[in-house]
Amino acid sequence: MHSNSPLQTLHHPLFTHHQIKVFIKRDDLIHPILSGNKWRKLMPNIQDAIQLKKSGILSFGGAYSNHIHALAFACKEHQLKSIGIIRGESQYHDNFTLAWAQHWGMQCQFVDRTTYQQRDQHDFLTKLAQAYPDYLLVPEGGSNHKALIGVGEIIKELNQQVEFDTLITPVGSGGTLAGLISTSQNQYELLGIAVLKQAEYLKSAIHSLLSEQAKRYNNWQLITDLHRGGYGKFSPQDCQQIIDFSQHCHIDFEPIYSGKMLLGFLDLLSLGYFKAKQRIVLLHTGGLQGLGGMVERNMLDGSQWNIPKSAPYF
């Protein structure tokens, strides 16, 4: 079977000290623009839209959303139209993420927070479906049942790439973790690091995405206390720790998802969570486009982070 992304071994004195083996599944390398886990989740939906003869896909996201960015590009590549229902004011229309999304043909519609909160409600979705009958509606983050199939490929690829005990992923909406659970057949230990606070509700969101059979699997855990203050929150020390690790391993991370998972993993390691000889895979979900918006908002120093350049491709 063909693997969509490589698996690499990570070397670090801490790993030697704790006698663990650490690998990283490089989904950030799947595509130069399309963020890794968003690519996994979108591909089955793109195929669905094409099969249903839809003219495009409509979805939801914040003004710096990796999903919106990926959706715009993926639709353009497959000759589909795209509409993004964006939380917030139209002042964001030319930010790093949305400028690219619109460049790739996405039509952005800005809605206030109250309207945005209805994004999963039946009545709201019915109205949208009536207004846009030839669009496939995909939820925020791309996390629907179809997405799970795409994410499940990660487990199939890993089965051929490495023997391992534990797989660690960052968790936002829960679709990625749900996809890993579905395909893992109750093997391996799956650890999800929630990147937002008060993330307990995600357990039931994940549960509701699972099949009856997968609902019985108990090989997974959502860790809800390593969010470092909430979504998009991190300290200068957190950033420095990510940068140091990046420089040591020559792999880029960003502090919202992949970097937060890395910090969570290092925290668990120092707490003695892992046993000697344990083989751990970190899932690098991508998301590096998000660095552009963080530098734009002065949340990060642009000279310290490697912002991917979308420009050379157009």
Ligand X SMILES: *Cc1c(COP(=O)(O)O)cnc(C)c1O
- For position 38 contacting ligand X by CB under 6 A, the verdict is yes
- For position 166 contacting ligand X by CB under 6 A, the verdict is no
- For position 224 contacting ligand X by CB under 6 A, the verdict is no
Measured CA to CA, the distance from residue 40 to residue 27 in angstroms comes to 9
Q: Is the Cβ–Cβ distance between 108 and 58 less than 8 Å?
A: no
Q: What is the CA radius of gyration of the chain?
A: 19
Q: Which is nearer to ligand X, 71 or 171 (CB)?
A: 171
3-state secondary structure of 150: helix
Q: Is the Cβ–Cβ distance between 20 and 278 less than 8 Å?
A: yes
Which uninterrupted H or E stretch holds 201? helix 201-209
Nearest approach, Cβ of residue 66 and ligand X (Å): 3
- For position 173 contacting ligand X by CB under 6 A, the verdict is yes
Number of residues that bind ligand X (CB under 6 A): 20
Specify burial of residue 169 (Cβ count, 10 A radius: 0-12, 13-18, 19+).
Answer: buried
Of 84-123, which residues contact ligand X (CB under 6 A)?
A: none
Quick one: which segment of 56-64, 78-86, 157-165, 175-183 binds ligand X (CB under 6 A)?
Answer: 175-183
**Burial 94-106, CB ≥16 within 10 A → b, else e:** ebbbbebbbebeb
- For position 144 contacting ligand X by CB under 6 A, the verdict is no
> How, if at all, do strands 135-137 and 107-111 pair?
unpaired
Task: Please select the residue that binds ligand X; options are 4, 45, 59, 66, rule is CB under 6 A.
Answer: 66
Nearest approach, Cβ of residue 257 and ligand X (Å): 3
Task: Please select the residue that binds ligand X; options are 170, 232, 264, 308, rule is CB under 6 A.
Answer: 170
Measured CA to CA, the distance from residue 113 to residue 61 in angstroms comes to 11
Quick one: which segment of 77-85, 111-119, 129-137, 169-177 binds ligand X (CB under 6 A)?
Answer: 169-177
Nearest approach, Cβ of residue 172 and ligand X (Å): 3
Task: Please select the residue that binds ligand X; options are 84, 264, 287, 308, rule is CB under 6 A.
Answer: 287
Measured CA to CA, the distance from residue 142 to residue 61 in angstroms comes to 9
Q: Is the Cβ–Cβ distance between 110 and 90 less than 8 Å?
A: yes
Quick one: which segment of 7-15, 96-104, 171-179, 212-220 binds ligand X (CB under 6 A)?
Answer: 171-179
- For position 62 contacting ligand X by CB under 6 A, the verdict is no
Task: Please select the residue that binds ligand X; options are 59, 82, 97, 143, rule is CB under 6 A.
Answer: 143
- For position 82 contacting ligand X by CB under 6 A, the verdict is no
Quick one: which segment of 84-92, 95-103, 105-113, 166-174 binds ligand X (CB under 6 A)?
Answer: 166-174
Q: Is the Cβ–Cβ distance between 239 and 270 less than 8 Å?
A: no
What residue has token string 């930010």?
Answer: 95
Measured CA to CA, the distance from residue 67 to residue 142 in angstroms comes to 7
Nearest approach, Cβ of residue 300 and ligand X (Å): 15
| Residue facing ligand X at closest CB distance | 287
Quick one: which segment of 12-20, 47-55, 172-180, 292-300 binds ligand X (CB under 6 A)?
Answer: 172-180
Specify burial of residue 299 (Cβ count, 10 A radius: 0-12, 13-18, 19+).
Answer: middle
Measured CA to CA, the distance from residue 218 to residue 51 in angstroms comes to 35
Task: Please select the residue that binds ligand X; options are 4, 5, 8, 35, rule is CB under 6 A.
Answer: 35
Residues that bind ligand X (CB under 6 A): 35, 37-38, 66-67, 141, 143, 170-177, 257-258, 285-287
